[in-house]
Chain A
């Protein structure tokens, strides 16, 4: 079973920051938070991951709360191409990936 809770869908205006929340209240000390997204008709795409520190790469930023019970994925300047289903996944380093339902993000022109 997925260990995360995400909103079913969200809207964001093009050019604005998209902030996607994820609750993972049962996360354990050795479990990482991973984000993937799936654009329609394509395989999932890795975005970012983190353990307890905030992380940033060329695609997004990941903000993890101090108690690690929740996190937020930030797409700083959303474009229409960011329309996708975003999955927040919690797992130990060598554990299988369990995808939940994800958040369907709609970028509005």
Chain B
């Protein structure tokens, strides 16, 4: 069974631009969560989607948004990029909400210059 895939793997953007990251969950998984990882703050939860609805949200500004499609694929968008948005963005999928195991993708490395 294929794992969680994320595209693109690497991205370089300029301050003020916007970016869209994509995540394809494991087949059959309906829950997708997003995380940001930086050396200073570690792994931080961004949001969780299940059945095309946002179910949970972390403490991030409104510039960070996401959505989930009917096939469970998910995208996250960051508008008006800031230097501090440079990070590894990780997506994780699981069978359903409230189930135990989240499977993480390799991440998208975003660099904002």
B92:A98 contact, CB within 8 angstroms: no
Is the beta-carbon distance between A96 and B45 smaller than 8 angstroms?
yes
A-side interface residues, number (CB < 8 Å): 21
A 19-58 binary contact with B (CB < 8 Å = 1; else 0):
0000000000000101010100011111001000000000
In terms of DSSP, what is the predominant structure of the interface of chain A? Answer: loop
Cross-chain contact B48 with A96 (CB below 8 angstroms): yes
Residues of A within 8 A of B104 (CB): 42-45
Residue of B42, B45, B55 near A97 (CB, 8 A) is B45
The interface size bin for chain B is 20 to 34
The distance in angstroms between the C-alpha atoms of A44 and B42, with both chains bound, is: 12
A-B CB proximity, top 9 nearest: A43-B104, A99-B43, A94-B98, A46-B101, A93-B98, A96-B45, A96-B56, A44-B104, A94-B97
**B residues whose Cβ falls under 8 Å from a Cβ of A:** 4, 33, 35, 42-45, 48, 55-56, 58, 90, 92, 97-98, 100-107
> Which residues of A approach B to under 8 Å, CB–CB?
32, 34, 36, 38, 42-46, 49, 87, 93-102
